[in-house]
Chain A
């Protein structure tokens, strides 16, 4: 059993959590996929926070976002025209 977290390649926002013994089926083409421990995957899945309030930082760590931080990231992504 392996766990993977998928992130948007443009802004690092979490898109999905995958649980599989075979290949990962990405939900978005070109996304970033990182294998994580079962504990991290479960903490994301079991938490009250929506998936989009998790982000892949440039240093490779998964960070929790506030709603304000998330909205700012999305607004900046849209301004950049890449969303």
Chain B
């Protein structure tokens, strides 16, 4: 699997195979190798690259549905208060989980978005398919809080 991660061509082929995708997602070693070799996916003859974000309001569980034949590089989590004149919330737990492989990309219990104070967490992990965002901030004006996950989508051409 490391050979796959080291070659843009091999990764392009692997992402189009559900068997290879599942195998890569299930293996921590393979995922680590892919993360180390993400720069090889900048070959735009083989991949389209999209920088984007997913937003979720308040508490609950949201799922981002990944495009077909894609790999997501999750790069940042951000929480902010959409109404800075009101309190917001703090000491919340947010868990980002890759559905395929069922591993946690982020698990933090110090998430706050209170008044104009925000939370930013730098991340560098991958999701080979959908991911979920579980938000649980225990009190205050949690409905004012917006949770944002930044990521880059590499779609095999």
Contacts and interface: CB of A to CB of B under 8 A. Distances in A.
Given A25-B153, A50-B148, A19 B44 contact: yes
A18 interface: yes
Contacts of A22: 48, 157
* B interface majority secondary structure: strand
B2 to A, nearest CB: 26
Interface residues of B, number: 18
A21 B78 CA distance: 30
* A interface majority secondary structure: mixed
A9 interface: no
Interface string A49-76: 0111000000000000000000100110
Interface of B: 44-45, 48-53, 67, 78, 82-84, 148, 150, 153, 155, 157
Interface of A: 1, 6, 15-25, 27, 45, 50-52, 71, 74-75
